[in-house]
Every structure is written in structure tokens, then in C-alpha cells.
Structure 1
């Protein structure tokens, strides 16, 4: 709670500053028609990124390529760890030390926009005219009150990972497609040393992330958690746990822990994301496994993860936008996504490139990406997610029934939204 108060205070201070943002603390510089500043110097754009590993390496290569492609803009990068981005934005707002562009988790986009931290770039996006080529889920994550406050840069989604050999040994030649079939397959492992099914149930954003496909599949969303559909989603997962079809350890398990169990053959099926493909292949190259859609109730559903790029309010906006447009060009975006092992948020890239369609495992995620939803989007998402996490924990630990847990979560979300 204390951290949330400090964060909110930092953002509110940002509003009172007349020069909040920009790499030099003075907003946009005067730009000549030929580009660059009025004195002939190139414009400077600072971007904060939290990329690591190959993702960071490829991104920095693209920054160098952009800088070498023209003389009017110089982009500089500064690495800020993922778990410090929001804190650094609030600290920077009090001292004129904000970047021009920030790399943020897509679930934070609406919250930061509602706090006045991000620039409304709707006019630029509309003039650009490329949004029709983007996947709906990633694009929606950049919106707040029907305006654009960024663009999606990287995307991923969740699917059902399953061990083909284990399912075959249990008598199943195909993975489950419905909730009833999921329960049937998971039940086949109840009396064995193998856990039939697993989700990340620890109290963190990961449990909300993994619960969301079940919530949406039942026909519910974050703003009607007390609906019969929402209660059904939690009741279904709670039933798997109660009947021994999921291990009780899920209440303390993150996605990383699920992957460990899956690669060692201790877990037959799990909900997890495309970023784990290479790890599974490296850790257990002889395992026969595949990915398919998460079993459905009313309809198949999934949820997106990934990063957005947003321009900070008061930043050096015009050159920042020029760099963002360059990054979002299909050629650049396809290159980055393929080289760093993520999905592009553009439908036209997925339609025209052979890279994702030809990969044995990534290809399974392509149709899922086309219908995966953004969590929210909501400016209140941190509080919404916390309420959902608590409901999952209360239900899984039998401190509340699924119905009571979801009713209480709905009441908390309603209170937060109405404040």
C-alpha cells in the first residue's frame, strides 16, 4: 500500500511540473523543415527499455541501424529493470529526468495514461493509418478513453502445453479441447506420480494472467467478477484442485516452476507461454510435446503479454514518433520479432511471413494470437489484478468458496473503479 501511495504521489507531482518529460527536461525542441534542431544539431531521443538477453541485443542493433540511416535524430538507450520502470517514472517526474519513450508492460499502459504520464498520440496514429494491420488485442492494450497512448511492440500469449507420450500412455491420442475433456484427461493422472494439469496460482500478476483465459472463455471479464460465468471459471479450476487433478502446490507456483515440472516429465499439461519454447527444447530435447489452444467452455480464449512503446508526456515528441514509426515498419518489426523469439503485434506480418507458420511450436500460437485479449485494459488494473489474485488464493486454500471469493473480488473492483 505504501508503495502505491508513493507512486501515485509521484505521478501527481508530474502534473504540476510545466516541463515534465523529454530527454533534456524542456519538451520538444524547435525543428526545421529539413529535420534536426534550428541550430543544425540532430534531435536527441532517450528511450528507457527493460529488454534483456537477445531481445536487448537485437533492439540495440536496431537503434544503431536507425541512427546510421539518417542525420536528423539520435536515439539513446538506457536500461531500466522491469520491476523498476514504474518507480523510476515517478522519481523522474519530480526531477525532470524522464525519457522521451518508455518501454512498458502492456497492462501498465492504461494506468500510466490515466495518471498523465504518457502522451496522447491519437492524431499521429490516425495520420499514420497503419492500425488496421495490428492484432486487436495488442492494439487495445495501448488505449485509454478511446485514445492511443502508445503502440504494441512485442507480443506473446498463453496456450496448453502437453506431453504427447504421457497422454498416450494414459489412453488419449489427442489433447483436450473442452473443460470437460481437460478434467477427464487430468483425472487420469490422479493416482500416479505425474500431475495431470497445472496453472500458475501464486499470488502475483502471473495467476491473474493464467486465470484470464478461463474467465474470458466462460463469457466473463474483470468488470463482472460476480457473474455466474466468472464464478464458473474459478469453480472449475477449484474443482480440479479439490479432486486431485491439480497439485496443491499450484498456490505457490509461478510459470517458471510449471516449466520445470513439465520439462522433467512430472507434469502432463500446463498453461504457459511461447517464451518457454526454447527452454523446454534445451532442457529436454528428447521429450515429445506440443502446444494447442487452452480448452474452452463457451469459446476458446487466451490473453496477451508483451511490451508497448509509449511517448512520455512533455517529451521530444516529434522525433520520438519518427523513431517509433520506423520500429513499427513491417520490415523492422518482423526482423526484431523473429530474431528475439517473440510475436509481432501486426497481423500482416503473421500473414505474410513464413517464420512463425513454419516453426513446429510457434505455429501453434499463431491462431491463438488472433483472438487473445488484453488484460483489461483498465487504468485500475493493478488493483483489479490484486483482487483476482486474492480470490484465487482464497478459493484454492478453501478459506472461501469460489462464489464468495469472486463476489468479494467484484465488490473490491467496483469500489476501486467508483473512487
Structure 2
């Protein structure tokens, strides 16, 4: 994961916190050494510790997560104090509590937040612990910042392309498209089917960050060090291609992730972008429960054969706060993320794929061909979001998305829009 020189005030603004109050506490100092440090106070070797996670607040996951917690408490004669916040409030609450010294132990982080939280200097380097987990290389990468292992991977997946094999068969598409040219041919064949949207690509600002892997597919690095490369020929080519699909009605207007899931659930979409858990989310509201058999992961088409398919890394890690109970919390994080029976049970209840080679090879996981194929074909070459290391990641993604949308609706040329996007993003990463 790349790094950046984010200043203290900018990092704070990411969380919507009261900048002056928190900055005055000097909370965002340089990262301190790890290994039992008690910078946050308390005994690192204490048996009891805290655990903070949004999964403890969600119906789909809280029972299974509580099972992991209770199992640890029973087996280690310890007490874990759990704290839960809704996902949409989680980052702000976590940051405020960390700055106030009110959180200890293990904390659940979205991998998109890891860089900003690590910069606060309150997390333990779990490099030695991670070596015991047997994690896949891509999973390990998701928990790293500045070459240090600040998170143990709990869920590692990606956002890629899902296809409806039934519609592909009906359209006479005998094999999944590998190149952009083959993908276009497949979309045109799907368009011949009545009432079918060939590709339910994101066209609303909320998910138009999906353009990033397509830009990378066309050869745009997006960032080169701290230099924004959006606006180069490759990014312009990618957006012009997206516009071509839009004008040819091969993708639909005003679609976000939720719209795409709903349309796919109706059996009227050939391809769409989603996370690996999108299958479960889509099937939950699908009219045809047999749709599960038709859902297949499709590596993102490449510009030329031999290129790596592009995908956005997606998932969560367990980090540990320096101070009270940090050693025990690290052991708990290792157990929760790498113990095979625990990971397999979690997968069975939540469809969250394990992050270790042994977990993925377990018969109960391997039998789920969708997840296994997704891991091998899509997550294998997934990369972090290009702007995750920057405090204004959300604003950056929105700035680019708005410019892409302007192209789609005919308000701007791709060249002019990408130049504006480059200038806006360059300003945002320097603020």
C-alpha cells in the first residue's frame, strides 16, 4: 500500500472530527515502535482487553462474531469488552475514542482506512504475529502500511465482475471475454436479447470510482508517486470507451451498486461490478433462487492478452492498539483471522472468504466454487484503491466521478474532464 505525507489537520478532517480540539491533544504524532509498548497506558500483558467492530452491530454477522468472542473468553478465562458502532458512524467514532485514549485491544478496520489510522501512531506492528497465520500474500498486503503489518487480514476479497452464465449462453457467448474487444462483442450479443442490460456498470457518482480499474486496464497508473496521472492518454481512452458503451446502450443510465444488484436479481443483466459477497446480497432479493447457479466471477477484460486483470482490493483487518491487553488482543486477532475452524464457520454464516491458504483449501470453502474461483481469478491480482493513503480519499473519488459523469451525459469531452479531474485531485492531495 502506498504512503503519503498527510499533515495532521488533513488527517483529522477525514473523520469529520473537531480539528482544533483533537489536534491540541497531539494525537497524531509519528508512529512509535511496537512490541508491547504502552504508549496508551496500561499493561500490554493483561489478559483482558477490548474489541471494537461494526460487525457486532450488524444482523448478518454479530451472532457469529459474538461466538468467536465467547469462545475466546471461555478458552482463555479472560474477559473481552466489546464495543460496536454502525458502519457509517464507525470511523468517526473510532478516531475520536482513539484520540481520547478510550479504546484498547483489537479494532476492526476497513482496509481503506488503515493508512490514516496507522498514521495516528497508536497501532502495534503485528509483523511477528502475522508470520504465524499462514495468510495469502494478497491478504497480508491488505494489512500493511509503510512496509509494516498493522492489521491481520480478517476478510480479503475484491470488487470485480459478476456474469450471468445463463444469459451468456443464450447470447451464444461460448467463453468469457478476455480482452476489451471480446468484451464489447459479448455486450453487443447480449443487447440482442430482449429486455437485457448487457453491462450494469456504475453510472451514478456514488459508484463511479469503478472507473479506476478500467483506467488501469487502459494503462493509466492514476498515481506515479504523488503525481496524479489522470488526464493522460490512457485515462482519456478509458473514459471515451465508457462513453461509447453508454451511448450504444450497452451500459445503462443512472445505475449504482444497489440498482445493479436489483437488476441482476431480476435476471436482466449480463455483467455487473460487485464485491465477492455480492452474490449473497443479490440472491437475498432475487425472484429466481436458481440464479445462484448462473452467477459466475469473470476476470476484468484486459487491453491485450497477457495483461493482469484489474480489480479493487476489498476487505477488513484486525489491528491492535498499543497499551492495555495489547499482547492478548494480538493473540485474539491471530485466532479470529487464521484459526481454520473459526474461519470456516465464519465463512459458512457470512460468506466472508478466509484469508489463509489452509482456510481457502478447507473442503467446506473449496466446495463453494463461486468463492474459490473468485479468489483465484479476481482477488489474486487485486490492488488497493489508488488514493486510500490520502485523507481526502472520499472527496478525491467523488471529484473524479463527477467529471466522468459529465462526459457520460455529454457536458464535457473526456480530455477536458480528465484534465479538470487531475487538477482537482492534485489540489486535494496537497491540502
CA distance in 1, matches of 2:257, 2:419: 27
CA-to-aligned-CA distance 1:190-247 (integer Å, 9 cap, x gap): 464221111223222x332x33332332333331222322332222222110221111
Q: Distance in 1 between matches of 2:160 and 2:256?
A: 15
1:21 is matched with none
Note the C-alpha offset of 1:127: 5.7
For the pair 1:271 / 2:284, whether they are aligned, the reply is no
Deviation of 1:146 after TM superposition, in Å, equals 2.4
Q: Structure 2 vs 1, CA of residues 170 and 333 (structure 1 numbering), >3 Å: closer, same or farther?
A: closer
User: Which moved further from structure 2: 79-88 or 291-300?
Assistant: 291-300
Deviates more, 1:176-185 or 1:354-363: 354-363
**Conserved 8 A contact 1:226-1:407:** yes
Tell me which of 369, 375, 379 is aligned to 2:390. 379
The answer to whether residue 89 in structure 2 is matched with residue 87 in structure 1 is no
Indicate the RMSD between aligned Cα atoms, in angstroms.
3.0
After the TM superposition, which residues 12-411 of structure 1 pair with which residues of structure 2 at under 5 Å, given as runs? 12-13=23-24, 15-16=26-27, 27-30=40-43, 36=46, 42-51=47-56, 52-71=58-77, 73-93=78-98, 95-114=100-119, 116=120, 119-122=122-125, 124-126=126-128, 128-130=130-132, 133-190=134-191, 192-204=194-206, 206-208=207-209, 210-223=210-223, 224-249=229-254, 253-281=255-283, 283=286, 284-287=288-291, 289-291=294-296, 292-298=298-304, 299=307, 300-312=309-321, 316-331=325-340, 332-350=342-360, 352-367=361-376, 368-376=378-386, 377-380=388-391, 381-411=393-423
Structure 1 residues 339 and 231: CA distance shift in structure 2, 3 A: same
Structure 1 CA distance for aligned equivalents of residues 87 and 426 of structure 2: 29
> CA offset at residue 67 of structure 1?
0.7
Q: How many residues align?
A: 394
- SS in structure 1 of the partner of residue 17 of structure 2: helix
Runs of 5+ consecutive residues of structure 1 not aligned to the other structure: 19-24, 37-41
1:12-44 CA-partner distances (Å, limit 9, x unpaired): 3453599xxxxxx9934236xxx64xxxxx433
Q: Structure 1's 363 and 325: CA in aligned 2 closer, same or farther, altered over 3 A? A: closer
Q: Secondary structure of 2:113's match? A: helix
Q: Normalization by structure 2: what TM-score?
A: 0.81
Residues in 1 aligned to 2:412 and 2:322: alpha-carbon distance in whole angstroms: 43
Kept in 2, the 8 Å contact 1:219–1:229? The answer is: yes
Partner deviation per Cα, 1:123-150 (whole Å, 9 max, x = no partner): x42365247x433444333333222322
How many angstroms does 1:258 deviate by?
0.6
- The separation in 1 between residues aligned to 2:427 and 2:316, in whole angstroms, is 29
Please give the per-residue CA displacement for 1:77-115, whole angstroms capped at 9, x wherever unaligned.
12200000122124325644334332122111112223x
Contact 2:167 2:190 in 1 (8 A): no
Alpha-carbon distance in structure 2 between the residues aligned to 1:401 and 1:90: 40
Give 1 or 2: higher helix fraction: 1
C-alpha separation in 2, matches of 1:315 and 1:17: 19
Question: In structure 2, do the counterparts of structure 1 residues 226 and 294 end up closer, same or farther at CA, with 3 Å as the change threshold?
Answer: same
- In structure 2, stretches of 5+ residues that fail to align are 1-9, 30-37, 224-228
Cα shift at 1:386? 2.5
Residue 279 of structure 1 deviates from its aligned partner by 4.2
- Structure 1 residues 389 and 8 mapped into 2: Cα distance closer, same or farther (>3 Å)? farther
Sort the Cα spacing of 1:406 and 1:323 in 2 relative to 1 into closer, same or farther, 3 A: same
- The 3-state SS of whatever aligns with 1:180 is helix
Give the whole-Å Cα distance in 2 for the aligned partners of 1:364 and 1:84: 33
